[in-house]
Structures are given as C-alpha cells and as structure tokens.
Amino acid sequence: MSAVRVVCAHDCPDMCSLIAHVENGKVTRVEGDPDQPYTAGFACAKVNRDAELVHSPERITTPLKRVGPKGSGQFQPISWDAALDEIETRWKAIIAESGPLALLGYAYSAHQGQMNRHIVNGLFHAMGTSRLQAGTVCDTCCETAWDATLGPVGGADPESVVDSDLVIAWGCDLMAVNVHFWAKLDSVRKKGVKVVVIDPRRSRTAAAADWHLPIRIGTDAALALGIVHILVRDGLCDRAYLAANTLGFDQWEREVIPGFTPQRVSEITGLSVADIEKLAAMYGAAKHSFIRIGEGMTRLARGGQALRAVATLPAVTGAYGRKGGGALLLTAGSMDFNFAYIRKPSGPATTRLVNHSLLGLELVRMDGPPLRSIFIGANNPAVTCPDAKKVREGLSREDLFTVVHDPFLTDTARYADIVLPATTYLETEDFYRGYGSFYMQFSPAAVQPQGEAWSNFRLAQELARRMGLTDAVFRQTEREILPHFFEGVTGAVAKVDPASLLDHKPVKAAPPPGPQEFRTPSGKLEIYSASLAAEGVPPMPIWEPDPEEVRDAARWPLRLLTAPSYFQPHTAFSGVDFLRKREGEPHCVIHPKEALKRNLANGQKVRLFNERATIGLALKVSDEVGEGIILVPGQRPDAEAPEGTVNMLCSDRLTDIGEGASYQSTFLDVAAWEAKA
Ligand SMILES: Nc1nc2c(c(=O)[nH]1)N[C@H]1C(S)=C(S)[C@@H](COP(=O)(O)OP(=O)(O)OC[C@H]3O[C@@H](n4cnc5c(=O)[nH]c(N)nc54)[C@H](O)[C@@H]3O)O[C@H]1N2
Ligand SMILES: Nc1nc2c(c(=O)[nH]1)N[C@H]1C(S)=C(S)[C@@H](COP(=O)(O)OP(=O)(O)OC[C@H]3O[C@@H](n4cnc5c(=O)[nH]c(N)nc54)[C@H](O)[C@@H]3O)O[C@H]1N2
Ligand code: SF4
Ligand SMILES: [Mo]
C-alpha cells in the first residue's frame, strides 16, 4: 500500500492537493492533502469518490469502431494499431484533397493538467487545421469583460479574505464550485464579518450566508449601478483612489449613474428599495470588501456588462487598494507561464476558428473547405453545448469522420466513427496551476493506465509522429517539458525553480501583497474602454433591456436558470453510480405558485419546452427559486433523464462581450409529461 501525493485535475478553481492511496495497482481512496494550506486537507464530496471514477465498470477499455448508425452507440472493439492506422489514413487523405482546414481539433478543460490539457490543441495547431475557440461555453464572456476592465491580470488572492470586513458572493455558489473559499470564510465570520449572497436562487451558499438577495436573472449590472448611484449620492466614493487609478469615472457618473435610482433599480432587479439602500450602505461602510464574482451571471446575452459593472465596484470604494479588499473572478491571469510552448508549437498564428456554441451550425454550414473530420477530446458537446440538438445533427453527418477520446462512452462518443479509451487524471503525470488560487504543483501518476487507456499526452504525441510533425514538444517527456513553461516568465512565477517542483509539493506564487494591479492599455481600471467602443459595445458599464430577451419573455412564461449541480458537475462524473444516485434523477425546480398554476405536483414527470425542443425531467416544487424561473441544475446525459438534456432548449446566441454561451437567455414553459403534444 502506498500514498501518492497528487493534484485534482477536475475543472474547478480550487486545484486541491490530494493523497491517493494505492494498493495492488488500484486506487483505493482519495483524500485531501493536509500539507496544502488553501485546500487544507479535504476534498469535495465528488472527488472523495474518485477511486470509483478510475475503476468504474462503465469505462471503455479498448478502442472501438462504429458498426451501427451514428448516435446508436453500436461499436466493436478494435486494436490501437488499427484505430490509429485508420485515423492516419483518413486525415492524410482529407488533407491531400481539401487541405488541413477540413479538420477540426476540439479539446477543452476536463483535464486541468497543463500538459494533458493543451497538447491536443498543440497537435492541431501544428497541423494547421481549423481550431476550437476554446472556453466560449465557460468563461470567455466573463474573462474578456474582466480583461477590458482590469486587463489580463488575476484578481484578489482568496487567502487574503482573512483580512476582509465584508464578503459578497456575487452569483457564485461557493459551496458547489469553490468549497475551499467557503471554508476560509469560517474564521472570517467568527470575527463578525458578514457574508452576502446575490443569486436568483436560494443556493446552499445563500441559505448558509448572513444575507441573501434573490436578484432577478440578468440584472446584476443594474444593481451594481444602483449601488454606485447611492455611493455617489451619499459621498461614499473614494475620490482620490478613483482619480489616481481609474479611467472614465467622471463621464460614467455624469452620463450613466444618474439613470440608476434606487426606485428604478428596484423595478429592474426585483429587490426592494430598502434592500438596495442597505446593501449600498454596507458596501460603502466597508473598507476591505471582497467580492467573489461567479461566472454564472455572465452566461446570458448581456453578461459582459454585468461583469464589468460588478468588477468596477471595488474601485469606487477604493477596496482594490486595500488588504483583503477587491474582487476575484480568476487568478490565472497573474500566473504567466509559457504555455505557448505546448499550445502553439509550429503552425499558423491564425486560422479558422469554431466557437463551441456554434459547433452544430459550423459542422453543417462551414464551407471552403467544409469540415470533414473532427477530433473531440475531454469534452461532451452533445450534452454541454448550447443547442445540443443542432450539435447532434452536425455529428450525424455520414461524411464526417469523427474521433472521440474519452474514458467513457458519452453521448458525444456515440456519434463517433472511432472511440479511443482515455485515462483519467490519476493515471497521468502533469503540471498544474490553479485558476482560483495561486498554487502550482507537479503531480505523478497514482496508477498505471487502466485497460488499454491512453492519456491525452501519449495520444497527441503518437498522432504527431504519424502525421510527420517534428516539434520537440511531441517527443519530450513531461519532465522535459516542465522547464519550458518557465521560459521568459515574469512576476511571482519567475521566482520558482521548476526543478523544485519535482518533489510534488504545492508551491504558492501569488503577486506580492499590495493594491490590485491593472494591466489595461492605460494602466488603470478602465470604466471607459476604448477597445469596447471600437467594437460597438457600450464603452461604460450599463444595464439595458435586451430586445431578444424581451421578445422571448413575452412569448414564454419562464426563464431558465442553469447552475452547477453538487455531485454531477457537467458530465465528467456521470460514470460514478454513487454520485449519480446522490445527485438524484435529472430534475427542474419551480416555485409552488408556478406549480399550482399548471396543476403540477412535486416528483412528477414534466416536459420543458420552447421553440427549439421538448425535454423530460422530474419536477421539484420549491421556493428555492422565485416565480418566473425554472432551475435546471447541471447538464445530465439523455439516458439518465426521461428525455433529452437541458441544452437542447438553449440557443446558440453569443454574449455581448467575449462571444460566450448565453444559456440563461432561454425562455420556456413546463407542463405535465402526459400533456405531450
Ligand atoms: N460542483 C461543481 N463544481 C464546479 C462546476 C460544477 O458544475 N459543479 N463547474 C466547474 C466549472 S466548468 C466552472 S467554469 C466553475 C465555475 O462555475 P460556475 O458555473 O461559473 O458557477 P458559479 O460561479 O457558482 O455560478 C453559478 C451561480 O450563479 C447564479 N446565477 C445564475 N444567473 C445569475 C444572475 O443572473 N445573477 C446572479 N447574481 N447570479 C446568477 C446561479 O444561481 C448559481 O448559483 O466551477 C467549476 N466547479
Ligand atoms: N446548460 C448549461 N450548460 C453548460 C454550463 C452551464 O452552466 N449550463 N456550463 C458550461 C461550462 S462552464 C463548461 S466548462 C462546459 C463543460 O462541458 P465539457 O467540457 O463537455 O465537460 P464534461 O461534460 O465534464 O465532459 C468532459 C468529458 O471529458 C472526459 N474526460 C475526463 N478526463 C479526461 C481526460 O483526461 N482525457 C480525455 N480525453 N477525456 C477526459 C469526461 O469523461 C467527459 O466525458 O459545460 C458548459 N455547459
Ligand atoms: S474541490 Fe475542486 S479541486 Fe478540490 S477535489 Fe473537489 S473538484 Fe477537485
Ligand atoms: Mo467551465
């Protein structure tokens, strides 16, 4: 029996250090590593079961070749050699006939190790194919909006929250997605510091906080502007900080802020004038306020404006300049590694891009050349992409040669011509850096690859060899690549010797304590953004009604709220039976009054429908959400639900900033399953 110090590779801001207990080549148990100060010796409820993920009986053990219609899931086992020979032959023929743009590489974040995450994209970069505009389903809206405001720089250190005097979880369900930050708040709250949650639903975090403001979906910019209105009115702005560190405050104060009176903000957000006043007074009185900004509130049509408005608040009170103050969206911007070494080896600097959200459309529409082959790794777009029906239509094309690399036979893999068995992270060596903390760590594999599984790393290197690529990164080991990540780096990371990471211990590399850095063109926090103005986006944070949303809201009585689920984040844990049961049947939640209107009862099977699709889920009736909302936690595979999956209802419309997915600009209705037309 041995205990191996590893890192959790799931897509999560915390980046826990873990101990994997191994016996006879099997992982028997995974637990938190007590030697990592931030993640502090505990793993979340999901990862506590990762031994069951690695050894799930549902894993694919050999390569598979399709023998039935696309989507049917009929496959027969083949050897790795046969699978790779077929891929090589088909790709070489397609490139000879149509050029490399006819191929699309599609890999994203399910393995957070920087080698296994990026080497697949590096392969397609070097091949000069069409490439994925990665992250649009997730964080490109909030990240681009943050960058337009503060520049490409990390936010506050989550560990600095011990010095805060007010904490706001703004659209962030900490207990689900950032549980170690939540744990940090224990000691802070003992000192009497209040935790406020701004979220349309009473999440577990909201229920456990000091105060929950159930804001209307998509109105956060208005609330932030209303707070600024009151801070200006009551003389609570830090004028010296604003003058020295921001751009455009005067114009914003003159042209935008006057329109956001408490009365108008109350009408927009659904919050009372008294609550808006109270929140602004609390925020104005606090000197070291910390806002943890979630991504959820930016996954809608005007999400970029919401992010910009909220991220500007700490500048108005000067909290960005003080210990324990500021805002945290992501930290990754301040850990400047040279990941281009693996992500962008040789190959053209620019190429044709495919947005995740438009995958279905582009598979059908793209021309000159059309897409003739797609490789999908570490992604389940048939479930997690908006307009999932269109994704499936695209993947159903008989003339599309589809390769899927995954540990499990996902809904996406069912459309593949060739399925390749992937390892899980506990079978890989890799280098990690957090996106919600400032730690880095080099992790060994806990066990050998199970069955015939190959890591992303091994597969990309073998495909590179077969396709005749000569970049060094496709021949080097993980340990040989590691020092290249540190080439030319600046800031705190530059002080770390990569060789010191080989003992597998976590290393912190936070920016030195001090005021929040801004990396915009002006070097200041840009309330007025010339780059947004040039793109035709309102250059100062503002809330405006969205005409398409207004139109759809008139047609459909409910608005979709989509939020991470506790035990089934996206689909990466759907191979763990215990966690599927723990999460329960795929379901939706509506307020008792909405249930009464439709004569629906708790636990019954319902259909959710709009102009795009009809899906079936179980119904939970609860005042966890207000009227006019239907909450669907997580995104679950079709087979687990009565019918379909939530993203079949969502449009592929892109957000105002960063071309992100707009799941929550979805309007629909619900009825008894039997009422199915
Ligand atoms: N358990 C678990 N952990 C996860 C994930 C998961 O699915 N489950 N996902 C992982 C991934 S891929 C990511 S990107 C990260 C981040 O995960 P995110 O998906 O960004 O999660 P949150 O930041 O919590 O944002 C969701 C919260 O925002 C609220 N919300 C939705 N709309 C609005 C709105 O208009 N206004 C306001 N104020 N709030 C709103 C929702 O009710 C919900 O509580 O977490 C990662 N960790
Ligand atoms: N309605 C709605 N949809 C959403 C969201 C939402 O809030 N609402 N959130 C969006 C967000 S934030 C994100 S990030 C996306 C996530 O969407 P996806 O990126 O599709 O994530 P998963 O569903 O977890 O699928 C990851 C797949 O990778 C596989 N995998 C795990 N480890 C490895 C590995 O090492 N190698 C390979 N090859 N495969 C591996 C898993 O088995 C799984 O099938 O979903 C988005 N979809
Ligand atoms: S909290 Fe996040 S990083 Fe930690 S074990 Fe769970 S999924 Fe992994
Ligand atoms: Mo994400």
What is the spatial distance between Cα 384 and Cα 136, in angstroms, rounded to a whole number?
Answer: 12
Q: Among candidates 402, 458, 421, which has minimal Cα distance to 94?
A: 402
Tracing tokens 């929550």 back to the chain, one arrives at: 664
Residue 385 counted as domain residue: yes
What is the spatial distance between Cα 481 and Cα 500, in angstroms, rounded to a whole number?
Answer: 15
Per the DSSP assignment, residues forming a β-bridge with 526 are 247
- The H-or-E segment that residue 93 falls in is helix 80-98
What is the spatial distance between Cα 114 and Cα 478, in angstroms, rounded to a whole number?
Answer: 10
In a shared domain, residues 309 and 452: no
For residue 206, give the ligand nearest its CA.
1
Ligand 3 centroid – CA 44 distance (Å): 5
Look up the CATH number of the domain holding residue 325. 3.40.228.10
Ligand 2 centroid – CA 110 distance (Å): 6
- Atom of ligand 3 minimally distant from the CA of 15: 3
Counting ligand 3 atoms within 8 A of each CB, the residue from 5, 7, 14 with the most, and so the one to mutate, is 14
Ligand 3 centroid – CA 196 distance (Å): 23
What is the spatial distance between Cα 396 and Cα 561, in angstroms, rounded to a whole number?
Answer: 29
Structure tokens, 136? 């649009």
In a shared domain, residues 207 and 295: yes
Helix then strand then coil, in percent of the chain rounded to 5, is 40, 20, 40
* Domains contained in the chain, number: 4
Look up the CATH number of the domain holding residue 574. 2.40.40.20
In a shared domain, residues 422 and 568: no
Residue 570 CB less than 6 A away from ligand 1:
yes
Whether 120 and 377 have beta carbons less than 8 Å apart is answered as yes
What is the spatial distance between Cα 2 and Cα 18, in angstroms, rounded to a whole number?
Answer: 13
Residue 609 counted as domain residue: yes
Residue 153 CB less than 6 A away from ligand 1:
no
- In the structure, what pLDDT confidence band is assigned to residue 675 with cuts at 50, 70 and 90? confident
Tens digit of each residue's pLDDT (9 = 90 or more) over 427-464 = 999 999 999 999 999 999 999 999 999 999 999 999 99
In a shared domain, residues 174 and 299: yes
In a shared domain, residues 381 and 526: no
- In the structure, what pLDDT confidence band is assigned to residue 611 with cuts at 50, 70 and 90? very high
- Atom of ligand 3 minimally distant from the CA of 12: 2
Look up the CATH number of the domain holding residue 50. 3.30.200.210
Counting ligand 2 atoms within 8 A of each CB, the residue from 138, 428, 570 with the most, and so the one to mutate, is 570
What is the spatial distance between Cα 348 and Cα 345, in angstroms, rounded to a whole number?
Answer: 9
Residue 561 CB less than 6 A away from ligand 1:
yes
What is the spatial distance between Cα 205 and Cα 182, in angstroms, rounded to a whole number?
Answer: 8
In a shared domain, residues 192 and 264: yes
Tens digit of each residue's pLDDT (9 = 90 or more) over 248-275 = 999 999 999 999 999 999 999 999 999 9
Structure tokens, 22? 């191994």
Residue 562 CB less than 6 A away from ligand 1:
no
> Contacts for 70-76 with beta carbons within 8 Å, 24 or more apart?
70/395, 70/396, 70/397, 70/398, 70/402, 70/414, 70/415, 71/392, 71/395, 71/396, 71/414, 71/415, 72/414, 73/409, 73/414, 75/409, 75/419
Tens digit of each residue's pLDDT (9 = 90 or more) over 323-340 = 999 999 999 999 989 999
Whether 647 and 536 have beta carbons less than 8 Å apart is answered as no
In a shared domain, residues 47 and 179: no
Ligand 3 environment, Cβ below 6 A? 8, 10, 12, 14-16, 39, 43-44, 46-47, 179
- Atom of ligand 2 minimally distant from the CA of 413: 44
Residue 539 counted as domain residue: no
Ligand 3 centroid – CA 258 distance (Å): 43
385 has pLDDT over 90: yes
CB atoms within 10 A of CB 361: 17
Whether 508 and 494 have beta carbons less than 8 Å apart is answered as no
In a shared domain, residues 520 and 499: no
Structure tokens, 525? 């926090």
**Domain limits at 578?**
547-675
Residue 638 CB less than 6 A away from ligand 1:
no
pLDDT reported for residue 336:
87
Average pLDDT value for residue range 334-349: 96
Ligand 3 centroid – CA 207 distance (Å): 22
Counting ligand 3 atoms within 8 A of each CB, the residue from 7, 16, 174 with the most, and so the one to mutate, is 16
Q: Which of 508, 524, 556 is the last residue of a domain?
A: 508
243 has pLDDT over 60: yes
Whether 471 and 341 have beta carbons less than 8 Å apart is answered as no
Say which DSSP state 297 is in: G
Rounded to an integer, what is the distance from CA 660 to the centroid of its chain?
11
Residue 371 counted as domain residue: yes
pLDDT reported for residue 354:
98
Quick check: bond before 262 cis, omega within 30? no
- Atom of ligand 3 minimally distant from the CA of 14: 3
For residue 45, give the ligand nearest its CA.
3
537 has pLDDT over 60: yes
Ligand 1 centroid – CA 634 distance (Å): 10
Nearest alpha carbon, ligand 1 atom 14: 138
Nearest alpha carbon, ligand 1 atom 33: 297
CA-based R_g, the chain, Å: 24
pLDDT reported for residue 78:
98
In a shared domain, residues 279 and 209: yes
677 has pLDDT over 60: no
Distance spanning both ends of the chain, measured CA to CA? 58
pLDDT reported for residue 135:
97
Ligand 1 centroid – CA 107 distance (Å): 21
Whether 607 and 671 have beta carbons less than 8 Å apart is answered as yes
Average pLDDT value for residue range 5-32: 98
What is the spatial distance between Cα 83 and Cα 593, in angstroms, rounded to a whole number?
Answer: 55
What is the spatial distance between Cα 532 and Cα 657, in angstroms, rounded to a whole number?
Answer: 8
pLDDT reported for residue 676:
61
Whether 1 and 22 have beta carbons less than 8 Å apart is answered as yes
Look up the CATH number of the domain holding residue 384. 3.40.50.740
Ligand 4 centroid – CA 564 distance (Å): 10
What is the spatial distance between Cα 531 and Cα 520, in angstroms, rounded to a whole number?
Answer: 10
Counting ligand 3 atoms within 8 A of each CB, the residue from 6, 8, 184, 424 with the most, and so the one to mutate, is 8
Ligand 2 centroid – CA 445 distance (Å): 22
For residue 660, give the ligand nearest its CA.
2
In a shared domain, residues 178 and 287: yes
Ligand 3 centroid – CA 112 distance (Å): 11
Counting ligand 3 atoms within 8 A of each CB, the residue from 10, 50, 179 with the most, and so the one to mutate, is 10
Residue 480 counted as domain residue: yes
The three-point CA angle 509-514-516 to 5° equals 85
Question: Could you give the residue ranges of the DSSP H alpha helices within 209-261?
Answer: 220-233, 239-245, 249-255
- Atom of ligand 2 minimally distant from the CA of 572: 24
- Atom of ligand 1 minimally distant from the CA of 174: 24
Quick check: bond before 513 cis, omega within 30? no
Nearest alpha carbon, ligand 2 atom 33: 378
Residue 178 counted as domain residue: yes
Ligand 1 centroid – CA 83 distance (Å): 38
Average pLDDT value for residue range 505-526: 96
Whether 573 and 558 have beta carbons less than 8 Å apart is answered as no
Q: Which amino acid is at 216?
A: R
Whether 647 and 386 have beta carbons less than 8 Å apart is answered as yes
List CB contacts of 489: < 8 A, sequence separation 6 or more.
336, 337, 338
Residue 143 CB less than 6 A away from ligand 1:
no
Entry field: residues in the chain: 677
In a shared domain, residues 476 and 432: yes
Question: Could you give the residue ranges of the DSSP H alpha helices within 234-377?
Answer: 239-245, 249-255, 262-269, 273-285, 303-316, 340-343, 359-365
Residue 343 counted as domain residue: no
Structure tokens, 540? 């100062």
In a shared domain, residues 164 and 290: yes
Residue 131 counted as domain residue: yes
